Amino acid sequence: MRTGAGKKGRMTNIIVGLDIGTTKICCIVAAVTDEGTLDVIGHGVSASRGLRKGAVVNIEDTVESIKKAVKEAELMSDVRISSVYVGIAGSHIVGFNSLGYITIRNEDEGVTQADKTRVHAKAKPPKETFSKDREELHTIPQRYIVDDQDGIKDPLNICGERLEVDVYIITGAKMAVKNIKRSVHRAGLSVSRVILQPLASSKAVLTSEEMDVGVAMVDLGGGTADLAIYSEGSLVHTAVLAIGGNHFTHDVAVGLRLSHIEAENVKVQHGSVSSESIEDDEMFEARGMGGRPPQPRLRKELSGILELRAEELFELVGEEIKKSGHEEKVVAGLVLAGGAALLDGIESVAERVLALPVRVGSPRELSGLRSIAKSPVYATAVGLILEAWQSSDGEDTSLEGIWQKPRSVVQRIKEWFF
């Protein structure tokens, strides 16, 4: 587990999540308490200047945005951040199922950890058949079979002769992953692990009951919407949809002839995707382009623009769920995360389009800064911390041996002024 020093100099375990998104970069610092829970002790947010639809298009801009978010998090948490868990998303992400089986070495002893490791390796495609431009990000076991006994979640110590596993392998474009890592390294940080953003968001906002029954999660980011489907406690499908919060903003800018900045402000302050809930005479003011003075606008007109885009988004979500073959498994409905999940009326539109129960998910299992720990805006960054924390109790050892340095008083004073 990663270690560091708190404000009083006492040693503590620290985990840092870095969400590198299309519209914002968010860094969250969490400490593991003596009770074994997570406490958010710092965060930093900066505008993202170097990404498009989750992919790095300008490394220098991305590096500067990362530095700003990390510095803010350091100042608040009083921890010198040296390594981070980084989220990744984008249309280059591809997931697929694969099967593997082995003969259990000692049928009387039962399945050992070594047997699990071997069967996981067997389930992966041979390296020579794996595309050279792809990089494996996650291999997620979905179910095990020991002899004829199916539906096993953990086969440890179960006796038998043959062990099979069905895994879901998630890959990313090698260059896309490399550019994310390179940006983080050039910001002066090491990458503990790259984690799929919808996997992280799911950790933050879904309950174990929902994942067991079957649920879909959509993280509504700035450039894309990331979909994850769970069934029987395991991730069974992921997809990236090419609609995000920026598309809502663009529609408002074009429809009302506003600058992008003003359109974003209008969307956040006055936007609703449910036009039927808006009175015909409700008004708001918006600044025109080119320095024109504020003009009164009909809120119902704004709502109509946003509602059309929301309907298109959830139609795409429904099509992807159906195409995945897991439509009948989404019993618990849909959970929304991300900044666009805060748009007024978005739950009702999603329920109407998808004919599923819908809720907006807030991060769980963390205490500390309430505005961060409980907001769907920070679901990915919080989820990165949860994924790192939970995996440290299993086979993964990526949390070990990482030191987050405390900052001296002189360093902190210099940072305030320079």
CATH 3.30.1490.110 in the chain: give the residue spans: 95-173
CATH 3.30.420.40 in the chain: give the residue spans: 3-91+176-197+364-417, 208-362
Q: Stretch 359-383: mean pLDDT, rounded?
A: 79
pLDDT of 414 higher than 50: no
Give per-residue pLDDT as tens, 135-191: 999 999 999 999 989 989 899 999 999 999 999 999 999 999 999 999 999 999 999
Domain range 3-91+176-197+364-417, CATH architecture: 2-Layer Sandwich (3.30)
Closest C-alpha to 278, from 249, 305, 257 = 305
Q: What is the pLDDT of residue 408?
A: 44
DSSP symbol at 293: P
Residue written as tokens 């990000």? Answer: 137
Q: Which of 68-72, 361-365, 386-390 has the lowest mean pLDDT?
A: 361-365
Cα distance between residue 221 and residue 26, in whole Å: 12
Q: What is the pLDDT of residue 36?
A: 78
pLDDT of 393 higher than 70: no
Domain range 208-362, CATH architecture: 2-Layer Sandwich (3.30)
Q: Which of 169-173, 191-195, 394-398 has the lowest mean pLDDT?
A: 394-398
The pLDDT > 70 percentage for the chain reads 88
The sign one gets for the Cα dihedral 43, 44, 45, 49 is negative
pLDDT of 365 higher than 70: no
Q: Which of 11-20, 141-150, 334-343, 371-380 has the lowest mean pLDDT?
A: 371-380
Q: How confident is the model at residue 6 (pLDDT cuts 50, 70, 90)?
A: very low
Q: What is the pLDDT of residue 106?
A: 87
95-173 to CATH, choices 3.40.640.10, 3.30.1330.10, 3.40.30.10, 3.30.1490.110: 3.30.1490.110
135 contact partners, CB below 8 Å, separation of at least 6: 171, 172, 173, 174, 177
DSSP symbol at 100: E
Sequence length of the chain is: 418
Give per-residue pLDDT as tens, 32-78: 888 878 888 999 999 998 888 778 999 999 999 999 999 999 999 99
Given a contact cutoff of 8 angstroms between Cβ atoms, the answer to whether 67 and 187 are in contact is yes
